[in-house]
Amino acid sequence: MENIKIKKALLSVSDKSGIVELAKTLQSFGIEIISTGGTKKILQDAGIPVTDIQKVTKNPEAFGGRMKTISFEIESALLFDRNKDKIEADTLGIEPIDLVVCNLYPFEKVLKNDADFDTLIENIDIGGPTMIRAAAKNFKYVTVITSIDDYKSFIDEITANRGATTFEYRKKMMAKAFNHTADYDALIAQTMDNETGIKSIRLAYTDGKELRYGENSHQKAIFYQQKGVDNTFHDMEFLHGKALSYNNILDISGAVASVKELESTGCVVVKHSNPCGMAMAKNQKTALQKAWQGDPVSAFGSIIAFNTPLALETVKFFELTNKDRSKRKFIEVVIAPEIKPDALEYLQNHKNLRVVAYNPEKLPQNPDFRIINGTLLQQDYDDKLYDDLKIVTRNNFKLDKKLIEFGIKTIKNIKSNSIVIVGEKDGNYYLLGMGAGQPNRLVATELALNKAKEFIRQDFNGKTKDFDEFYNQEIGKAYLISDAFFPFADNVELAAEKGIKHIVQPGGSIRDQSVIDACNAMGVNMIFTGIRHFKH
């Protein structure tokens, strides 16, 4: 298709930013500018000649500006086919308009500012979308610009093509235009539904990227960006390694969400979307070592996330250059807010290791959505740790509030039914063991206890003559935390048998008292939080 030289342009914008610069560029190519209302005044004040739109429509602006551009003359000038309709257009006295620059009344802005209903109605644009859609439909001959962000590319385009635009550019702007009006109308429709008591939602996703594969290698997968949401995983900075897969992104999501809430230097090791190791320590290397210690076997092929810039001293832990290849630690993805240049250089010793820069602090706390068989579930972000920390057993003891909070931040990111056991030493906090995704809570408790014992054994190193003595000392200081209430005392009995002295759970079962009685009988302290943290 040929380049189309712009001879006549229609400028009608709500947001006037950058419009004078654009108009001056049009003027430099001898392009006639037609404009309306406030846009016309801004241009005239800048000394730019403007043709009043009333001269084209042969009708006045009316009804407080509600009627300006909607007319046979304007829509015809945009819509007629420059080849097959030329004779008819000449007969009707229709001169072509080759460019539309239009952004719409700020409905979204006034909505966010809690405008009243009448103000919302007055900010529904009618003429603008009509012009935009007409120009976009006839993109073979007409260029349409709907975003201030595209002004620079448009100026570059007509400068490079001596006042003309290419077919490829017009087609690209056409797609943007239809997306723009679709999003605009979708927001209005959703708002009006809410005004009339109807719950509806319209989500738009764009910029789809093909992934290596889906959950399994025979499944295709695409990764989209939700419009209007900043700092999503689509914005990750990919620094090194193989392309990401569907599972990688799910695990990255779990890893970043887990480490986001840690207030000091933190690290999490995630496998199959569950944190299997997690630590908050005085320095980054210790955080990694303790997180890895949570489950060294499951850490093989894991996703590891940090909440502080990643340093060379930390990543040396992976021993990627060790001559004994069996000592090199295999991981799939490393994520941190920033990767120091020397740390990145070291990580690049593993050619397939994916290295990603993403700041967990920027992770938005948007509602969660889940699409299931033609339906959409929506829920609030789980941003609450507990209602209260209430000791419900008879013993008086000093609560380790910070350790409990660390444990809850861990368990809220683990698939239910889940149990975690957390500990603290020398100001470092870590996950000793967890049981995840079990239909039976007793099994989850047993898994967490077994993992905790493995963790403690790694710390033993003959520090006392008897491991059992060392184990009982360490497990006695730990806290066992449940994501939901204990319906029976069997979990308490198992935990007490293994040396647990502190249990944290939401409470709320009809059998709470029997569970509390069991704790009192076995010398176990129990704390109720009042908040459940299921994650399905």
**Helices (H), ranges, 98-139:** 107-112, 117-122, 127-137
| Other CB atoms within 10 A of residue 213 CB | 15
User: Backbone phi, then psi, for 268, in 5-degree steps?
Assistant: -135, 140
The active-site residue out of 8, 137, 172, 415 is 137
Q: Taking each helix axis as running N to C, give the angle between helix 467-477 and helix 441-460, from 0 to 180 degrees, rounded to the nearest 10.
A: 120
350 is catalytic: no
The active-site residue out of 272, 316, 329, 340 is 272
Query: Which distant-in-sequence residues (6+ apart) come within 8 Å of 111 by Cβ?
Result: 120, 187, 191
Query: Which distant-in-sequence residues (6+ apart) come within 8 Å of 262 by Cβ?
Result: 280, 307, 406, 409
Task: Note the residue count of the chain.
Answer: 536
Structure tokens at 284: 């980054």
Q: How far apart are CA 89 and CA 147, in angstroms?
A: 30
Tell how many helices (H) and how many strands (E) occur in the chain.
19, 23
Say which DSSP state 481 is in. Answer: E
User: Backbone phi, then psi, for 352, in 5-degree steps?
Assistant: -95, -10
* 447 closest CA partner among 418, 410, 475, 486: 418
Q: How far apart are CA 172 and CA 151, in angstroms?
A: 14
Say which DSSP state 323 is in. Answer: S
Say which DSSP state 272 is in. Answer: T
272 is catalytic: yes
Pairing of strands 32-35, 51-52: parallel
Please report where in the chains the tokens 């996330």 appear, as a residue. Answer: 305
CA dihedral for 493, 498, 503, 506, sign (positive or negative): negative
Q: How far apart are CA 255 and CA 236, in angstroms?
A: 14
Q: Which amino acid is at 344?
A: L
Residues marked active site are found at 137, 272
